[in-house]
Amino acid sequence: YSSTAEKFDFFYLVQQWPGSFCDTRQGCCFPDTGKPAAGFGIHGLWPNYAKCRGGQQGLARAMLGDAGAFLSAVGRRGKCWPEYCDDGNPLRPWEIRDLVASLDRNWPTLSCKSGRSLEFWSYEWKKHGTCSNLGQHDYFERALALKARHDLAAVIAGAGIVPSDTDTYALSSVSDAIARGTGFAATLECNRDAGGEVQLFQVYQCVDREGKELIDCPLAMRSKCADQVKLPVF
């Protein structure tokens, strides 16, 4: 590695369930390419430490306050991942032009800030990709390749977990299905729909430092989940 190489331990490949992004109080908007398919979409490929470093406690933390992206990266537990590693390396769209069609299908924005998925990819590249030790093209190509290897919606459908606005599923049946179907334990995150019901929101699969192979997650459950969760229709 060069002296500037980031020494993270693994990546999270984070995929979001569009039904659970959209049915919140905040709602969602479709990208200018149209309504995405009813499958998981990529949120990001995030370099991560296996152990958080140098936690701040008490007064220092109180003085910093408890809001914002800064404290999600450098919080009570310390710095848990690197971010924004190179301001001088913004995403250059022409470098990924051959991937755009696939990115539009697999990494669509659902935010109402802009209908342009390119803005989402640029943000993810700037915040996380610049810490990955990968070039822009490899970074996006590897995320797409990892997602393509296992269709998570199909994997959980194989266990009878299909989108429904009424049924709930045991959280353990979702994690078991993913572990069996992909060969590796993942980490699950839930959110709440507009009515306050707990639903599966994001799946965090752990990936080696090259961004090539799945690994068992060194860190456990992200929670915000209940024992029973919904998987809303998108």
By annotation, the residues acting in catalysis are 43, 124, 128
Residues of this chain, 46-85, that bind ligand 5GP according to CB under 6 A: 46-48, 72, 80-81
Select from 41-49, 59-67, 146-154, 226-234 the region that touches ligand 5GP (CB under 6 A).
41-49
Cα 221–chain centre separation: 14
Burial of 166 (0-12, 13-18, 19+ CB in 10 A): exposed
> What minimum distance in Å lies between the beta carbon of 114 and ligand 5GP?
8
What backbone phi and psi angles, to 5 degrees, belong to 203? -115, 125
Residues of this chain, 81-120, that bind ligand 5GP according to CB under 6 A: 81, 109-111, 113, 120
CA 121 – CA 125 distance, rounded (Å): 6
b vs e for 51-67, b when ≥16 Cβ sit within 10 Å of the residue's Cβ? ebeeebeeeeeeeeeee
Residue from 43, 147, 150, 230 touching ligand 5GP (CB under 6 A): that is 43
> What minimum distance in Å lies between the beta carbon of 160 and ligand 5GP?
27
Report the residue number, 160 or 223, with the smaller CB distance to ligand 5GP.
223
| Number of helical (H) and strand (E) elements in the chain, helices listed first | 8, 9
Residue type, 115: G
Considering the rule CB under 6 A, would residue 36 count as an interface residue with ligand 5GP?
Answer: no
CA 116 – CA 124 distance, rounded (Å): 13
Report the residue number, 16 or 130, with the smaller CB distance to ligand 5GP.
16
Considering the rule CB under 6 A, would residue 130 count as an interface residue with ligand 5GP?
Answer: no
Report the residue number, 16 or 175, with the smaller CB distance to ligand 5GP.
16
Of the candidates 92, 94, 55, 91, which has an alpha carbon nearest to the alpha carbon of residue 73? 55
Q: How many Cα neighbours within 13 Å face the side chain of 203?
A: 28
Place of tokens 């908007």: 29
Considering the rule CB under 6 A, would residue 30 count as an interface residue with ligand 5GP?
Answer: no
Considering the rule CB under 6 A, would residue 234 count as an interface residue with ligand 5GP?
Answer: no
Residues of this chain, 177-206, that bind ligand 5GP according to CB under 6 A: none
User: Which residues form the interface with ligand 5GP (CB under 6 A)?
Assistant: 12, 16, 21, 43-44, 46-48, 72, 80-81, 109-111, 113, 120, 123-124, 127
